[in-house]
């Protein structure tokens, strides 16, 4: 404060070149102060942006890893689905084959049963069996084994 009073007292009686020099120094000092503030603000902003870029790069790397995991899981799942589809198709083929064999056996058994019934009917004449269980059992055994 004392300096400003001395400067004011001195400034009124000082030569113009000194007044201009003091004024120029004051203006330069003020500009230097503003420049320092602006540089500090910009430095803080650069640091903030640098941290944001680093965070974004880390997130991008993490996202790339997660995407690789998702793709690997998708491929594994597709392989599993393909494998299960092949197993289902093979089971369907086996089921159709078993059904065809069962139908063929049923037809053959039905034809054999029909032929056996016809044979039994053809040999049937008047039935005369002696009284008693033994004779009836013998007659039935003879008919069934033919």
| pLDDT tens per residue across span 9-52 | 665 676 778 777 878 888 898 999 999 999 999 999 999 999 99
Q: How far apart are alpha carbons 95 and 108 in whole angstroms? A: 20
Check residue 144 and give its pLDDT.
75
Contacts of 11 (CB under 8 A, 6+ apart): 18, 19, 22
H or E stretch covering 121: helix 16-122
What is the reported pTM? Answer: 0.44
| pLDDT tens per residue across span 65-124 | 999 999 999 999 999 999 999 999 999 999 999 999 999 999 999 999 888 888 777 766
Contacts of 14 (CB under 8 A, 6+ apart): 22
């Amino acid at each position: 404060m004392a300096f400003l009073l001395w400067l004011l007292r001195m400034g009124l009686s000082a030569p113009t070149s000194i007044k201009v020099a003091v004024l120029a120094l004051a203006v330069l000092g003020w500009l230097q102060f503003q420049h320092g503030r602006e540089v500090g603000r910009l430095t803080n902003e650069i640091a903030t942006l640098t941290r944001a870029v680093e965070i974004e790069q880390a997130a991008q790397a993490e996202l790339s890893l997660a995407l690789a995991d998702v793709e690997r899981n998708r491929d594994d799942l597709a392989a599993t689905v393909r494998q299960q589809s092949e197993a289902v198709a093979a089971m369907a083929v086996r089921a159709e084959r078993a059904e065809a064999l069962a139908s063929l056996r049923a037809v053959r058994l039905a034809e054999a049963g029909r032929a056996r019934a016809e044979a039994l009917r053809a040999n049937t004449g008047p039935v005369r069996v002696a009284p008693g269980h033994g004779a009836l059992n013998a007659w039935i055994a003879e008919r069934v084994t033919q």
